[in-house]
Amino acid sequence: MILPALKKTYQGQLVLDIPSMEIADGSITAICGQNGSGKSTLAKILAGIEKPDDGTVTSDAARSVGYLPQQSYAFHMSITSNLMLNKDPEKTKQENLAHAQQLLKEIGLESMAKKNAKKLSGGETQKMALARLLMKSYDMIILDEPTASMDTASIPTAEKMICDYQRRTGCTILIITHSPEQAQRLASHTIRLEGGKLCE
Protein backbone atom coordinates (compact mmCIF):
# COMPACT_ATOMS: atom_id res chain seq x y z
CA MET A 1 0.00 0.00 0.00
CA ILE A 2 1.09 3.56 -0.69
CA LEU A 3 1.12 6.21 2.04
CA PRO A 4 0.62 9.59 0.33
CA ALA A 5 2.83 12.64 0.85
CA LEU A 6 1.35 14.57 3.79
CA LYS A 7 1.76 17.98 5.34
CA LYS A 8 0.19 19.30 8.52
CA THR A 9 0.61 22.55 10.46
CA TYR A 10 -0.76 23.56 13.85
CA GLN A 11 -1.08 27.29 14.48
CA GLY A 12 1.41 28.06 11.75
CA GLN A 13 3.96 25.51 12.98
CA LEU A 14 4.83 22.66 10.66
CA VAL A 15 4.37 19.38 12.55
CA LEU A 16 4.41 16.90 9.70
CA ASP A 17 5.94 16.99 6.23
CA ILE A 18 6.59 13.56 4.76
CA PRO A 19 7.00 12.24 1.20
CA SER A 20 4.99 9.38 -0.22
CA MET A 21 6.00 5.96 1.11
CA GLU A 22 5.30 2.37 0.29
CA ILE A 23 4.33 -0.10 2.99
CA ALA A 24 4.23 -3.81 2.31
CA ASP A 25 0.74 -5.27 2.61
CA GLY A 26 0.39 -7.70 5.49
CA SER A 27 3.48 -6.42 7.31
CA ILE A 28 4.05 -4.79 10.67
CA THR A 29 5.68 -1.40 10.28
CA ALA A 30 6.84 0.66 13.22
CA ILE A 31 6.84 4.44 13.18
CA CYS A 32 9.45 5.62 15.65
CA GLY A 33 10.45 9.00 16.92
CA GLN A 34 10.74 11.16 20.00
CA ASN A 35 7.94 13.18 21.56
CA GLY A 36 6.64 15.81 19.18
CA SER A 37 8.15 14.15 16.11
CA GLY A 38 4.74 13.95 14.41
CA LYS A 39 4.05 10.22 14.97
CA SER A 40 0.60 10.63 16.48
CA THR A 41 -0.35 13.31 13.94
CA LEU A 42 0.54 10.88 11.15
CA ALA A 43 -1.50 8.13 12.85
CA LYS A 44 -4.53 10.41 13.24
CA ILE A 45 -4.36 11.51 9.62
CA LEU A 46 -4.09 7.93 8.37
CA ALA A 47 -7.00 6.90 10.60
CA GLY A 48 -9.13 9.76 9.24
CA ILE A 49 -9.36 11.53 12.62
CA GLU A 50 -7.56 14.63 11.31
CA LYS A 51 -7.27 16.10 7.87
CA PRO A 52 -3.89 17.00 6.37
CA ASP A 53 -3.28 20.51 5.06
CA ASP A 54 -1.67 19.03 2.00
CA GLY A 55 -2.07 15.50 0.64
CA THR A 56 -5.07 13.22 0.55
CA VAL A 57 -5.67 10.00 2.37
CA THR A 58 -8.13 8.20 0.13
CA SER A 59 -10.89 6.55 2.07
CA ASP A 60 -11.28 3.28 0.30
CA ALA A 61 -14.62 1.76 1.30
CA ALA A 62 -13.29 -1.70 0.57
CA ARG A 63 -10.35 -1.20 2.95
CA SER A 64 -11.25 -1.17 6.63
CA VAL A 65 -8.96 0.68 9.04
CA GLY A 66 -8.95 0.26 12.80
CA TYR A 67 -7.24 2.75 15.09
CA LEU A 68 -6.19 2.57 18.72
CA PRO A 69 -5.61 6.11 20.00
CA GLN A 70 -2.95 6.96 22.53
CA GLN A 71 -5.63 7.89 25.06
CA SER A 72 -7.92 4.90 25.26
CA TYR A 73 -11.47 5.52 26.38
CA ALA A 74 -13.42 3.18 28.63
CA PHE A 75 -17.16 3.48 28.12
CA HIS A 76 -19.47 3.46 31.11
CA MET A 77 -20.46 -0.21 30.85
CA SER A 78 -18.95 -3.60 31.65
CA ILE A 79 -15.63 -4.58 30.12
CA THR A 80 -17.35 -7.29 28.05
CA SER A 81 -19.90 -4.74 26.77
CA ASN A 82 -17.01 -2.46 25.82
CA LEU A 83 -15.55 -5.25 23.71
CA MET A 84 -18.96 -6.04 22.23
CA LEU A 85 -19.12 -2.46 20.91
CA ASN A 86 -16.71 -3.70 18.26
CA LYS A 87 -18.34 -7.03 17.59
CA ASP A 88 -17.75 -8.75 14.29
CA PRO A 89 -20.97 -8.46 12.24
CA GLU A 90 -20.19 -11.72 10.49
CA LYS A 91 -20.25 -13.69 13.73
CA THR A 92 -23.19 -14.59 15.97
CA LYS A 93 -23.59 -12.95 19.37
CA GLN A 94 -22.42 -16.14 21.09
CA GLU A 95 -19.34 -16.33 18.90
CA ASN A 96 -18.54 -12.69 19.59
CA LEU A 97 -18.98 -13.22 23.33
CA ALA A 98 -16.71 -16.26 23.24
CA HIS A 99 -14.11 -14.25 21.29
CA ALA A 100 -14.36 -11.39 23.81
CA GLN A 101 -13.81 -13.81 26.69
CA GLN A 102 -10.83 -15.35 24.94
CA LEU A 103 -9.25 -11.93 24.31
CA LEU A 104 -9.85 -10.87 27.91
CA LYS A 105 -8.24 -14.10 29.10
CA GLU A 106 -5.20 -13.50 26.90
CA ILE A 107 -4.78 -9.90 28.09
CA GLY A 108 -5.37 -10.84 31.74
CA LEU A 109 -8.70 -9.13 32.36
CA GLU A 110 -10.91 -12.24 32.40
CA SER A 111 -11.71 -12.00 36.11
CA MET A 112 -12.90 -8.41 35.66
CA ALA A 113 -15.15 -9.09 32.64
CA LYS A 114 -18.29 -7.91 34.42
CA LYS A 115 -16.65 -4.93 36.12
CA ASN A 116 -17.52 -1.41 34.99
CA ALA A 117 -14.74 -0.34 32.64
CA LYS A 118 -14.66 3.11 34.26
CA LYS A 119 -13.12 1.49 37.34
CA LEU A 120 -10.05 0.29 35.44
CA SER A 121 -6.62 1.83 35.87
CA GLY A 122 -4.87 3.52 32.95
CA GLY A 123 -2.91 0.40 32.04
CA GLU A 124 -5.94 -1.86 32.33
CA THR A 125 -7.96 0.54 30.17
CA GLN A 126 -5.28 0.33 27.50
CA LYS A 127 -5.36 -3.48 27.65
CA MET A 128 -9.14 -3.46 27.32
CA ALA A 129 -8.99 -1.00 24.40
CA LEU A 130 -6.46 -3.21 22.60
CA ALA A 131 -8.66 -6.28 23.12
CA ARG A 132 -11.66 -4.23 21.91
CA LEU A 133 -9.90 -3.29 18.69
CA LEU A 134 -8.83 -6.88 18.05
CA MET A 135 -12.42 -8.14 18.23
CA LYS A 136 -12.91 -7.53 14.52
CA SER A 137 -10.83 -8.10 11.38
CA TYR A 138 -9.48 -5.05 9.59
CA ASP A 139 -7.37 -4.62 6.48
CA MET A 140 -5.11 -2.26 8.40
CA ILE A 141 -4.79 -1.27 12.04
CA ILE A 142 -2.93 1.71 13.45
CA LEU A 143 -1.77 1.42 17.05
CA ASP A 144 -0.63 4.61 18.73
CA GLU A 145 1.68 3.70 21.62
CA PRO A 146 -0.44 0.61 22.45
CA THR A 147 1.61 -0.42 25.50
CA ALA A 148 2.66 3.00 26.84
CA SER A 149 0.55 2.77 30.03
CA MET A 150 1.00 -0.95 30.64
CA ASP A 151 3.28 -2.45 33.28
CA THR A 152 6.41 -4.13 31.94
CA ALA A 153 5.07 -7.63 32.72
CA SER A 154 2.03 -7.08 30.48
CA ILE A 155 3.90 -5.72 27.45
CA PRO A 156 5.07 -9.11 26.04
CA THR A 157 1.49 -10.45 26.28
CA ALA A 158 0.11 -7.44 24.42
CA GLU A 159 2.82 -7.68 21.78
CA LYS A 160 2.10 -11.39 21.32
CA MET A 161 -1.60 -10.61 20.84
CA ILE A 162 -0.75 -8.03 18.17
CA CYS A 163 1.51 -10.51 16.31
CA ASP A 164 -1.07 -13.32 16.60
CA TYR A 165 -3.75 -11.01 15.24
CA GLN A 166 -1.56 -10.07 12.29
CA ARG A 167 -0.86 -13.74 11.52
CA ARG A 168 -4.53 -14.67 11.87
CA THR A 169 -6.00 -11.86 9.76
CA GLY A 170 -3.08 -11.02 7.49
CA CYS A 171 -3.73 -7.32 7.99
CA THR A 172 -1.21 -4.49 7.70
CA ILE A 173 -0.22 -2.99 11.06
CA LEU A 174 1.29 0.40 11.72
CA ILE A 175 2.57 0.69 15.25
CA ILE A 176 3.58 4.05 16.65
CA THR A 177 6.20 3.73 19.35
CA HIS A 178 8.94 5.78 20.92
CA SER A 179 10.75 2.58 21.87
CA PRO A 180 13.30 1.35 19.26
CA GLU A 181 13.40 -1.97 21.14
CA GLN A 182 9.68 -2.49 20.70
CA ALA A 183 9.97 -1.55 17.02
CA GLN A 184 12.73 -4.13 16.64
CA ARG A 185 10.71 -6.83 18.42
CA LEU A 186 7.51 -6.34 16.45
CA ALA A 187 8.17 -4.76 13.09
CA SER A 188 9.71 -5.91 9.84
CA HIS A 189 10.16 -2.29 8.72
CA THR A 190 10.75 0.91 10.67
CA ILE A 191 10.04 4.49 9.69
CA ARG A 192 11.77 7.17 11.75
CA LEU A 193 10.35 10.64 12.18
CA GLU A 194 12.18 13.67 13.53
CA GLY A 195 10.68 17.12 13.77
CA GLY A 196 7.81 16.01 11.55
CA LYS A 197 10.13 14.88 8.76
CA LEU A 198 11.22 11.48 7.61
CA CYS A 199 14.61 10.59 9.05
CA GLU A 200 16.76 8.57 6.66
Partner 1 sequence: MIGSFGEAFRLIFSGDSTLYQIIAVTLRMTLTSSLLALLIGVPIGTWLGSARFRGRKILVVIDRALMGLPPVVCGLFCYLLFSGVGPLRALRLLYTLAGMVIAQVMLLCPMAIGMMESHANNIAPQIRENTKGLGIRRFRTLLLTMNESRYHIATTFLTLLGRALAEVGAVSIVGGAIMFKTNVMTTAIMDYTSMGNFKTALALGIILLFLSLALNIIVALVQGRFEK
Give the binding site for partner 1 (CB under 8 A): 44, 47-49, 64-69, 71-73, 75-77, 85-86, 129, 132-133, 136, 142
188: left (phi over 0), alpha (psi -120 to 50) or beta: alpha
Which of residues 50 and 194 has its CB atom nearest to partner 1 in the complex?
50
Q: C-alpha 138: how far from its chain's center? A: 11
* Minimal distance, residue 122 CB to partner 1, in Å: 13
What type of residue sits at position 31? I
* Minimal distance, residue 184 CB to partner 1, in Å: 26
* Minimal distance, residue 87 CB to partner 1, in Å: 10
Q: 12, 170 in Cβ contact below 8 A?
A: no
Which of residues 125 and 182 has its CB atom nearest to partner 1 in the complex?
125
Contacts of 89 (CB under 8 A, 6+ apart): none
Q: CB 25: neighbour CB atoms within 10 A?
A: 11
Which of residues 17 and 40 has its CB atom nearest to partner 1 in the complex?
40
CA distance 182 to 185: 5
* Minimal distance, residue 69 CB to partner 1, in Å: 5
Which residues partner with 21 through β-bridges? 3
- Alpha helices in the chain, H assignment, sequence order: 39-46, 79-84, 93-107, 122-133, 155-169, 180-186
Which of residues 68 and 183 has its CB atom nearest to partner 1 in the complex?
68
Which of residues 99 and 136 has its CB atom nearest to partner 1 in the complex?
136
CA distance 147 to 45: 21
* Minimal distance, residue 89 CB to partner 1, in Å: 10
